[in-house]
Structures are given as structure tokens and as C-alpha cells.
Amino acid sequence: MESLSFQIVLIALFAIASQWIAWKLRIPAIIFLLGSGFLLGPVLGALNPHELMGDFLKPAIAAAVAIILFEGSLQLNFKDLRDTQRIVRRITMFGAPIGWVLISIAAHYITGLDWPTAITLGGILIVTGPTVIMPMLKQARLNKRSGSVLKWEGIVNDPLGVIFAILAYEYFVSTSEGVSGFSFFVENGASIVMVSLVSFGFAHLTKRIFERGHMPEYLKAPFLVSSVLILFFSCNALLYESGLIAVTVMGVTLTNIHSRSMEEIKRFKETTTLLLVSGLFLLLTADLELEALLSLNWQSFVFIFMLLFVIRPITVFISTLGTNITFAEAAFTSLIAPRGIVCAAMAGIIGPLLVKGGFESGAQIFPIAFAIVVISVTLHSFMIKPLAEKLKLTSEEQNGVIIAGSYAWSVQLAEALKSREVPVLIVDNNWGSLSKAKLADIPVYHGELLSDETEFSLDFTAFNTLIAATANPAYNALLCENLGYEFGSERVFSIAPAEDGKSEHRKMSHHVQGQAFVREGLTLESLYQDFENGYRFKISRVGKKDDELIIPEDSFTNIHVGIISKAGVVSFYTEDPTSQISPREDDFIITLTKTEENEAEA
């Protein structure tokens, strides 16, 4: 019993440590999860999944994979996909089947896998998971088009790879038992249609239950977990391993029927799957036998090289023929394709199933997939930024401003910045608060700025400044701390709600709370009052006369807020002496000004 308790402690400790280190270093967590599992299992022998979980191990892993696939399918919004370039659709619709065929041929002739195992592995290896791509995109600061291709390929290919692999596995196992190919496609086709219809109906039923108030808020997340597991195991009883297809269909349906409860659904997947993903990969890797890894020969590494540097480029260039993709974009996309969570998880499940079905080479699937995940993620993490810079695909627009909090003054400030062609975005959790910004044609985002969903939905490459102006000081500090790693601590600002809220604000360290916006005494309350009294944000050009700059006077009725340089880069004033800025000729200075005209308007 003490040994089992110790193993549980190890899983919890290494799972959260791996996620934290990955967050700190801004690289995919899967590297540390796989490394920790390998260290605890095959190397040290401190973690034995079969001893820990016994017969419950395989059902538990299958259930965790089902929930991971469900959360991944929640990203696949068809509307967003239609809005992306034609290149994205070509790479996902044509590139996936082409890649499947080429990978399968290479796996058979290079590594010596039998055809059933090679074709199943080919389906698994077309996935390029968004969970490993998104941290890389943020690191490289790609331009919008290049980043969009990789992001959406990863989101769409996750469920596609699962479906390809499951169909291949089912086909070869069924035909090996004497079922004809025609009978397989008829019977299983009907079953898959039935499973898809059930999942589609289940998603609509979930939407109805949530939106009609039949489920309280605190039960929505547990209800979703239960629903996914019920659907998964029920469909598996109808058609073996069809549960993965079922939960994928359910997730895709939920995210495309525009349920008002989507925020709760997305919050569920962000909080629930983190521990599942971490624990799953520790268990999968710890269960890997050292002999299996040592069995990887030079042919295996030749196959990996072919996969990353020959098959992938051929797939991309063939599937994008006739599109307006540039050579640099095609070359970059063809050389960046890290495999991630779904690849390793599916290999860990389907490999043993193939062995059980009589295909002995199925035992090689997980070691090969493990090596591919580690090599591809590590290699691409180091090469993505220099490669993007070499091909000149990095974003040139990094001068935008994100304002967290929609008020009359923040909308007017956004309008002033937009008038000088500064990218600006207003973020708020309250849909009604964003109405004024939308009427003013200001880009808005309704949702949680720190959520994983936001990383998939927003292009952060255009922004390098944050103004945290919500009514919650602790949340403002959290925004500054997280985005401070992205933008730099000198470019994140916070505004205390009111004078009585500044004491809580002061308790936080300067590093956490962000810079004071403009001056220490400025609060949301005082900004609201100033706006009511006729103050407005104004932008004026800095001139020069007789070798002296002509700068608007900083006074009680004319407060200097920031500077927009000739290059369009925005810098805001703060009381920090190390962050002082000075205008130059032909810069634009932002002021908060009170005039008789503004006062009359107010």
C-alpha cells in the first residue's frame, strides 16, 4: 500500500512540475511529461502502471484519451476554418490522405512493419497537435498567414488521424477474422453513421439541457465528463473503438451549434484535461519497456528522418499546388510538423490492440511514435524561430495594444489609437459591455484572456502592450504576470479600480502587478469621473520650432498618457523612473485633455 501511495505522489508531483517548467520556459509540456515518465518507469523503476492500476489501466487510459480528443474537437469551429485561406483547406483535405499513403509506404519498406501495422501507423502520424504547435508559434511570432496554416492543420488533423487509424485497425482485424472487405464497409459504415447520429443528437441534447436551465452551473462540468465517458463506452459496445469517433463528433457539434454555454464547456476542457493529459503521458511512458526503445534500429531513425524531411515536404508541396502560397511559406510549413499528445496517446492504445489482433509488429508502434514525438518537438522548438526569421515570415506588426475592460473611456482611447493605425483589441467577459466598442468598429474579444481557447482564437503576434483595467485587482495582476512573460514586464500596465482598492494593489509585488498606468493616482473611478467631466484622449503631433520641441503642456487639464513613435510603436507613461520616455520630432503624443468642447459634449 505504501508503494502504491508513493507512486500516486510521484505522478502528481511530476505532472504539475512538468507543466510548470514548460510554462516557465515557454515550450511544449509533452517533452517534460514524456521525459519524466521515461525516468520514473524504464530508468528508475519507481513507477509501475500495471502494479498501480492493474486491469483498470487500459480502460483508464482509453477514457483519458476520449476526453483529450473531445477537448481537441472543441477547437474545430467550421466558421473559423472557412474564414482562413484556401491553403489551410488544401493541406488538411488533400495533405492528410497523401501523407497517410506516403508514411504507410515508408513505414513498410524502411522499418519492415507489416502492411496492417504500417497503414495504421500512417494514420496516427498525420496528426500535428495544436497543444505543441501553439507554444512554438508564440515563440516564433509568425505572421498571421503562416501561423494560421500550422494552427488549423493541427486542429483539423487531430480527429482525422484518429479516424484514419481506427478505421485501418478495424479493417485489418476484421478481415483477418474472415470478414470480407465489402461486408466490413457495409456493416461498419452503417455503425459509424449510427454512432455519428447518436453523438450529434447527444450534443444537441446537451445544449438544450444547458440553455433551458435544467443543469446548474456547478454541475455542468461534471455532467460533461460523465456524458463523454457514457457516450465513449456505450459506442465502444456497439462498434469496437468507435467511441473515439463518437466523442470527436460530439465535440465538433457542440462547438458549431453556437451554444450560449460554450464558455462553460471550454472552461471544463481547460481545467479537466490538464491533469488527465499529464497523468496519461506519465503512465504511458512509464509503461514503456526499455527493451522496446533499445529495439529501435537505424532503419527506425531513417524512417523518422524521411518522415520529417522528405515525406512532409512532398505532402505540403503537392497539396498546395495551384494556391497562392509562396515558396517561403510552403518551405516553412513543410519543415515544421511536431507530433504531440494525440499521436503518442493513439500509439499507446492501438499498438497493444494490434498485437492482440495477431499483428506482432504492432508492438513497435509506440516506441517509434515516442521517438518521433521527442525528436520532432525538440527539433522544431529550436528551429522554428531562426527558420521563420531566415525565410522572413515573422510578424512585423508587434505594436498593438490589448485593453482588458470595456468602458466609455477605453473605447475612446481605442478609437484614438486606431486613428493612428495602431492595432488595438478590447477584451471583456461581459458581452453587453462590448456593445459600445463594436458600434465604434473596434476589434473585440468576448471571453477569458488567459484561457487556452484564447490562444487558438486570437493572433497575439500583432500586440506587445497590455492595459489591465478590470474591476478585479487580483485578476489584473494575473494578466500582467502571464502576459509580462510574452510582452516584457515594462509593457504591461494595470489600473486600480478605486482609491480604496489600491491598498490591495500595493500588497502585490511590482513584478506581478505590472506598471502603474500613466501615474500612481490614476484609478478606474477617477478615469470614469474625468470622462464624465469632459476629458477625452487626444493625439497631437510633436513639432519643432527654433530647435525646441513643441509639446502640449502637461498640466491639471492636459495629462500626458503616452507616445506613438514615427514607426508606430506605442509607449505609455508611468511613474517608474527606469521606464521614462521622451517624445521626438514628428512623434505623436497621447494626452487626456479637458476642453470646453469636450465638457459641453459630456
pLDDT per position as a tens digit, 97-118: 999 999 999 999 999 999 999 9
Kind of pairing, strands 463-468 and 492-494? parallel
Q: Are 125 and 64 in contact (CB under 8 A)?
A: no
**Residue 297 to residue 41: CA distance in whole angstroms:** 21
**Residue 82 to residue 89: CA distance in whole angstroms:** 8
- Residue 192 in grid coordinates: 459509424
Residue 577, pLDDT score: 55
**Please, where are the H alpha helices in 212-326?**
217-238, 243-256, 262-286, 290-294, 298-306, 312-319
Topology given in CATH for the domain delimited by 2-177+204-390: Na+/H+ antiporter like fold (1.20.1530)
pLDDT per position as a tens digit, 256-289: 876 555 655 565 555 566 777 778 778 878 877 7
- Three-state SS annotation for 529-589: HHHHCCEEEEEEECEEECCEEECCCCECCEEEEEEECCCCCEEECCCCHHHCCCCCCCCEE
**Residue 556 to residue 319: CA distance in whole angstroms:** 62
How much is the pTM?
0.73
> CA 124, 125, 129: angle at the middle one, nearest 5?
95
Kind of pairing, strands 558-564 and 570-572? antiparallel
Residue 182, pLDDT score: 77
Amino acid at 471: A
What's the burial of 115, exposed, middle or buried (CB within 10 Å: 0-12/13-18/19+)? middle
Amino acid at 431: W
pLDDT per position as a tens digit, 120-174: 999 999 988 777 787 777 777 777 777 778 877 887 777 778 888 888 888 888 8
Residue 79, pLDDT score: 66
Helix axes 181-211, 217-238, angle to 10 degrees: 170
Cell 509501475, residue located:
48
Residue 556, pLDDT score: 67
Question: Which residues contact residue 575 at a Cβ distance below 8 angstroms, ignoring those fewer than 6 apart?
Answer: 516, 519, 520
- Domain ranges for the chain, please list them: 2-177+204-390, 400-601
pLDDT per position as a tens digit, 181-202: 777 778 777 888 888 899 999 9
Radius of gyration of the chain (CA): 27
- Residue 173 in grid coordinates: 482485424
| Nearest of 151, 149, 96 to residue 123 by alpha carbon | 96
Residue 403, pLDDT score: 93
DSSP 447-505: S-TTSHHHHHH--GGGEEEEEE--S-HHHHHHHHHHHHHHH-GGGEEE-BSSGGGHHHH
Q: Are 561 and 572 in contact (CB under 8 A)?
A: yes
- Residue 158 in grid coordinates: 487531430
**Intra-chain end-to-end CA distance of the chain, in Å:** 72
Topology given in CATH for the domain delimited by 400-601: Rossmann fold (3.40.50)
Coil/strand/helix, residue 159? helix
Counting as low any pLDDT under 70, the low residues of the chain are 1-2, 76, 78-85, 240-241, 258-273, 395-398, 452-453, 455-457, 459, 499-513, 520, 544-550, 554-556, 576-580, 595-602
Give the dihedral sign, CA 40/41/44/50: positive
Residue 192, pLDDT score: 81
> CA 448, 455, 140: angle at the middle one, nearest 5?
145
Question: Which residues contact residue 511 at a Cβ distance below 8 angstroms, ignoring those fewer than 6 apart?
Answer: 481, 484, 489
Q: Are 296 and 371 in contact (CB under 8 A)?
A: yes
Domains 2-177+204-390 and 400-601 share a fold: no
**Residue 358 to residue 352: CA distance in whole angstroms:** 10
Give the dihedral sign, CA 248/251/253/255: negative
Helix axes 115-124, 341-356, angle to 10 degrees: 160
φ/ψ of 232, rounded to 5, equals: -60, -55
- Residue 213 in grid coordinates: 436551465
